[in-house]
């Protein structure tokens, strides 16, 4: 069973133990490959919460197999989200259109179709997903019709992906699936990927490809770090000069309002939230090009030096600007949250500026520029609160003692062992948290680093059960200094898949050898679906990447 899907792993095992890597320290990876058996879970990724697979298989006829709404489903033909998903997954499973073969009854038991049943009166077909969306589903694969049940469409999307992962080709190439029962739901509600479109512009097509791949891995948040020092590609209706002057190019390197709308809808159809980040007061060099007086003028001695620092926190015009910008952002991005950044504010420029110095004195901040930063952030949070959005902020904002709304999400990114302390402190203060510190995938190294991402346990910090419940999930980050359309996809996938399983599957799913077997097959499936996901180690896929 699962024969063709896992053939690459089998071949790996066929290589003798004495064939070590040429000229390289690949011993650990050789051992991993050698010790790995095909998984009893086939190529499922991420592993569902409960799975039973029996050694009884059914055949699927491409010409007649149907994915259809159950009679009692609350979602009918008008539910575009599901109808689109049926077509997408049919193609994943069967490839392009098949000529209608006359159907000959043969000796094999056949699976005729997959019935999709949305059980909640409100299927949420036309809604946006949120952190509290129900993503659970149940799947029973048995003759004559498999049944996928989910309270909401979000669970149905995940169930379709899971069903497609169960289908394999037998030794004659016949599409097959085994008797299977699955009950599934995510361990964490927030499972994100951060992409950075400021250090390098990412064409819309690249973003869409990434969203598709996210859905194949059950990620549900696209954290769009859309602007930064280097460029401002977001085309604002309110402040068109921001991209006109701050983008790498005002026409070819911008996201128009319709680009954004398309990306948001493409994501929604895959159960993915789009959370934009407009990071201030630091990381805003590109903002200054299109908005006079927004940034702090730096001084060299008594004279302005000509360069600029973070957003100028002492001018009312700065807050007027932010108010209008975030009103627009709140309207353009339907998600309930925006990410406000707040990280890595460099005080050098503020310190050099005599007006800032005076302001500090007047406010009684002494020499503590963190207080000035907090002053700015506090006003910004009030502005964003007035737009009815919740907010996510990088951990510095919490660390600096800014007063935060109870529903604030604190994004933990600072590296190493300290991230556990940070999670403890954040949740002890009653805030929800997202973890990214161990998952900075832009950092690359030789050999299989997915294992280190996989081994992370987000709840390993010291804290009460109530505290642990405040960890909403995590995000894999792909910062853009060294990444653009040429290398994003293979650098991100399947390394991010390791994070996907950590955030979706049960806590005790930690067997690296089993993961290696499933992930090897999963990455070949991604390649077969046209995604340039890179290999884990010496191996092959039945269908190699054709996209070059």
Site for its own copies in 247-276 (CB under 8 A): 248-249, 252-253
When asked if residue 320 is in the footprint of its own copies (CB under 8 A), the reply is no
Residue 208 Cβ vs its own copies, minimum distance, rounded to whole Å: 9
Q: How far is the CB of 40 from its own copies (least distance, A)?
A: 24
17 binds its own copies (CB under 8 A): yes
Count Cβ neighbours within 10 Å for each residue of 234-269 and write b for 16 or more, e otherwise: bbbeebeebbbebbbebeebbbeeebbeebbebbbb
Q: Which of residues 197-226 bind its own copies (CB under 8 A)?
A: 199-201, 203, 205-206, 209
Q: DSSP 3-state assignment of 449?
A: coil
Q: How far is the CB of 199 from its own copies (least distance, A)?
A: 4
Q: To which H or E segment does residue 193 belong? A: strand 190-196
In angstroms, the CA 146 to CA 361 distance is 71
Question: What CA–CA distance (Å, rounded) separates 223 from 501?
Answer: 18
Residues contacting its own copies: total by CB under 8 A: 78
Q: Least distance from C-beta 28 to its own copies, angstroms? A: 12
The nearer residue to its own copies, 106 or 481, going by C-beta atoms, is: 481
- The label of the residue with tokens 């807050």 reads 319
Please identify every residue annotated as catalytic: 344
Instruction: Find tokens 């491409």 and name the residue.
Output: 62
* Cα distance between residue 152 and residue 91, in whole Å: 23
Min CB(129)–its own copies separation in Å: 25
Distance of closest approach, residue 446 Cβ to its own copies, in angstroms: 5
Query: CB neighbours (10 Å) of residue 417?
Result: 7
Closest to 516 in 3D by CA, of 4, 54, 8:
8
Instruction: Decide: is 298 part of the binding site for its own copies (CB under 8 A).
Output: yes
- The residues facing 474 across adjacent strands are 191, 435
- Peptide bond before 442: cis, by omega within 30 degrees of 0? no
CA distance 158 to 122: 18
Cis? peptide before 485, omega within 30° of 0: no
Stretch near its own copies under the rule CB under 8 A, chosen from 175-183, 268-276, 457-465, 475-483: 475-483
Q: Which is nearer to its own copies, 74 or 395 (CB)?
A: 395
Decide if 222 contacts 265 (C-beta within 8 A). no
Interacting stretch for its own copies, rule CB under 8 A, among 79-87, 111-119, 364-372, 438-446?
438-446
For residues 407 and 381, what is the distance between their CA atoms, to the nearest angstrom?
12
| Orientation angle between helical segments 512-528 and 27-35, nearest 10 degrees | 90
Distance of CA 497 to the CA centre of its chain: 10
Q: Which of 244, 357, 442, 513 binds its own copies (CB under 8 A)?
A: 442
- For the bound state, the minimum distance from the C-beta of residue 160 to its own copies, rounded and expressed in Å, comes to 24
- Beta pairing class for 50-59 and 190-196: unpaired
What count of other Cβ atoms lies within 10 Å of the Cβ of residue 389? 16
Q: Which is nearer to its own copies, 123 or 309 (CB)?
A: 309
Residues 49 to 78 in contact with its own copies, rule: CB under 8 A: none
Question: Is 421 an interacting residue with respect to its own copies (CB under 8 A)?
Answer: no
Query: What is the C-alpha separation between 124 and 498, in angstroms, rounded?
Result: 29
- Interface residues for its own copies in 158-197 (CB under 8 A)? 196
Query: x/- site string to its own copies, residues 121 to 150, per CB under 8 A?
Result: ------------------------------
* Residue closer to its own copies (CB basis): 420 or 441: 441
- Determine the Cα–Cα distance for residues 128 and 193; give it in Å rounded to an integer: 18
Residue among 181 and 538 whose Cβ is closer to its own copies = 538
Task: Determine if 246 is a binding residue for its own copies (CB under 8 A).
Answer: no
- Name which of 339, 363, 366 is nearest 351 in CA terms: 366
Residue 179 or 278: the one with the smaller Cβ distance to its own copies is 278
String of contacts with its own copies for each residue 478-507, x by CB under 8 A: -xxxxxxxxxxxxx----------------
Among 349, 410, 433, 515, binds its own copies (CB under 8 A): 349
Can the peptide bond before residue 147 be classed as cis, meaning omega within 30 degrees of 0? no
From 88-96, 134-142, 368-376, 436-444, give the range in contact with its own copies by CB under 8 A.
436-444
Give min distance, CB of 157 to its own copies, in A. Answer: 23
CB of 249 to its own copies, least distance (A): 7
3-state helix/strand/coil string of 200-241: CCCCHHHHHHHHHHHHHCCCCEEEEECCCCCCCCECCCCCCH
Phi-psi region of 416 (alpha: psi -120 to 50; beta: other; left: phi over 0): left
How many angstroms separate the first and last alpha carbons of the chain?
32
* Beta carbon nearer to its own copies, 119 or 395: 395
Q: Is 422 in the site for its own copies (CB under 8 A)?
A: no
Stretch that binds its own copies, among 42-50, 105-113, 130-138, 443-451 (CB under 8 A): 443-451
Q: Which CB, 27 or 54, lies closer to its own copies?
A: 27
Residue 344 near its own copies by CB under 8 A: yes
Nearer to its own copies, 48 or 246 (CB): 246
Under rule CB under 8 A, which residues in 27-46 are in contact with its own copies?
29
Place of tokens 């999307």: 157
Contact stretch for its own copies (CB under 8 A) within 48-56, 163-171, 175-183, 538-546: 538-546
């Amino acid at each position: 069973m699962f024969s063709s899907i896992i053939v690459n792993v089998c071949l790996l095992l066929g290589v003798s133990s004495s064939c070590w890597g040429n000229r390289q320290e690949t011993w650990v990876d050789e051992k991993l490959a050698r010790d790995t058996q095909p998984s009893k879970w086939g190529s499922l990724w991420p592993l569902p919460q409960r799975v039973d697979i029996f050694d009884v298989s059914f055949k699927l006829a491409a010409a007649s197999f149907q994915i259809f709404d159950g009679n009692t489903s609350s979602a009918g033909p008008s539910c575009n989200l599901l109808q689109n998903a049926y077509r997408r997954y049919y193609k994943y499973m069967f490839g392009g259109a098949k000529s209608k073969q006359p159907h000959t009854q043969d000796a094999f038991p056949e699976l005729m179709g997959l019935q999709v049943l949305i059980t909640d009166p409100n299927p949420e077909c036309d809604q946006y997903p949120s952190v509290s969306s129900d993503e659970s589903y149940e799947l029973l694969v048995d003759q004559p019709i498999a049944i996928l049940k989910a309270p909401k469409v979000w669970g149905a999307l995940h169930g379709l992906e899971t069903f497609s992962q169960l289908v394999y080709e037998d030794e004659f190439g016949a599409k097959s699936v085994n008797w299977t029962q699955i009950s599934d739901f995510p361990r964490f509600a927030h499972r994100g990927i951060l992409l950075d479109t400021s250090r390098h512009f990412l064409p819309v097509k690249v973003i869409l490809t990434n969203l598709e791949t996210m859905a194949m891995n059950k990620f549900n948040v696209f954290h769009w770090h859309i602007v930064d020092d280097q460029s401002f590609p977001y085309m604002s209706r309110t402040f068109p000069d921001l991209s006109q002057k701050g983008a790498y190019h005002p026409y070819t390197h911008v996201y128009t309002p319709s680009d954004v709308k398309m990306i948001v809808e493409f994501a929604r159809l895959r159960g993915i939230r789009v959370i934009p980040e407009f990071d201030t007061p630091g990381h805003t060099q590109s903002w200054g090009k299109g908005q006079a007086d927004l940034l702090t003028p730096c001084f060299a001695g008594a004279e302005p030096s000509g360069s600029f620092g973070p957003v100028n926190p002492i001018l009312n015009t700065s807050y007027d600007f932010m108010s209008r910008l975030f009103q627009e952002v709140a309207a353009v991005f339907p998600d309930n949250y925006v990410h406000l950044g707040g990280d890595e504010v460099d005080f050098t420029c503020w310190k050099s500026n005599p007006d800032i110095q005076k302001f500090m004195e007047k406010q009684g901040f002494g020499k503590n520029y963190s207080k000035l930063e907090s002053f700015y952030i506090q006003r910004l949070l009030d502005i964003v609160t007035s737009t009815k959005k919740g907010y996510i902020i990088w951990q510095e904002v919490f660390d600096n003692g800014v007063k935060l709304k109870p529903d604030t999400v604190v994004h933990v990114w600072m590296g190493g062992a300290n991230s556990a302390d940070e999670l403890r402190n954040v949740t002890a203060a009653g805030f929800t948290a997202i973890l990214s510190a161990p998952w900075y995938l832009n950092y690359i190294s030789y050999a299989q680093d997915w294992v280190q991402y996989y081994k992370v346990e987000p709840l390993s910090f010291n804290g009460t059960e109530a505290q642990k419940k405040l960890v909403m999930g995590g995000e894999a980050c792909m910062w853009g200094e060294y990444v653009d359309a040429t290398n994003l996809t293979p650098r991100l996938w399947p390394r991010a898949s390791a994070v996907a399983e950590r955030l979706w599957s049960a806590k005790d799913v930690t067997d690296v050898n089993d993961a290696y077997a499933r992930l090897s097959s999963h990455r070949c499936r991604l390649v077969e679906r046209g995604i340039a996901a890179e290999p884990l180690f010496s191996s092959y896929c039945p269908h190699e990447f054709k996209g070059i």
